[in-house]
Each structure stands twice: as C-alpha cells, then as structure tokens.
Structure 1
Amino acid sequence: MTYDRLVCANCAAPVSEGRCRVCRANRERLQQETNPWASLSPAALLTLLIVLVGALALLAH
C-alpha cells in the first residue's frame, strides 16, 4: 500500500497531505523506504507473475 491512500489517526486527513506532525513524520518514513516492489500495484505484480510463469512454461517445453 502506498502512503497516498493512508489516513492519519491523529488528524483524519490523508498522510500524503502532511497536515500534522504525525502525518509528516510517517510520510518521511514511508518515502525513505526504497523497496522497488512497494510501488507496484497488486495487478502489476500478478501480471508479472503470469508472464514469468508463461516464460518458464515455454522454456520447459
């Protein structure tokens, strides 16, 4: 999940807006995480998995 969909429990605003200090701190923490898979949607991951399984099936055949 990306931080633009998270809602702050402190101010009830989207974390991506950074209205309060809790939002700003969590936004900074989430932006520092540099996991390349974190930015992909579940649909993109599923498509990638299907493509990889198809490629493996072609190589095995």
Structure 2
Amino acid sequence: MTCDRLVCANCAGPVSEGRCAVCRAERARQHRETPFAGLSPVALLTLLLTLIAVALLAERVTAA
C-alpha cells in the first residue's frame, strides 16, 4: 500500500503531503517497510516476468 490515498486522522490531509508530524511519521514508516511501494503495478509485473524468465533460463542451462 502506498500513502498516496491515505488521509491522516490527525490533520485530515493527504499523508503523502506530510502536513503534520503524524503524516510525516506514517509516510516514513511506509517507505521503510515497503521498498517496492513506489513502483507501479506494470513495473512490478515486468520485474516478476523477468525473474521468471531468468529462472527458466537458468533451469534450462543447468539441465543441458
């Protein structure tokens, strides 16, 4: 989950803007916990397909 759509209960502003200390703390916590949060779904899918292709290629090379 990203903080783009979260609304702060303290200041009622978007967490991504970091208007208050609570927003800034939550934004920092999410960025620490989810390193791939900034990637779009298309980028994550591309990364996943690339990893699958590399695994299949490695399996084929070791079997030959």
Q: Structure 2 length normalisation: TM-score?
A: 0.56
After TM superposition, the runs of 4+ consecutive aligned structure 1 residues lying more than 4 A away are: none
> Number of paired residues?
60
Q: Which has the larger radius of gyration?
A: 2
- What's the CA shift string for 1:5-59, capped at 9, x where partnerless? 321123321012222332233234334x165333323321221111121223234
Gaps of 5+ in 1: none
Q: CA RMSD in A?
A: 2.7
Q: Structure 1 length normalisation: TM-score?
A: 0.57
Gaps of 5+ in 2: none
- The alpha-carbon distance between structure 1 residues 53 and 30, as it changes in their structure 2 partners (threshold 3 A), is closer
| Percent identical residues | 62
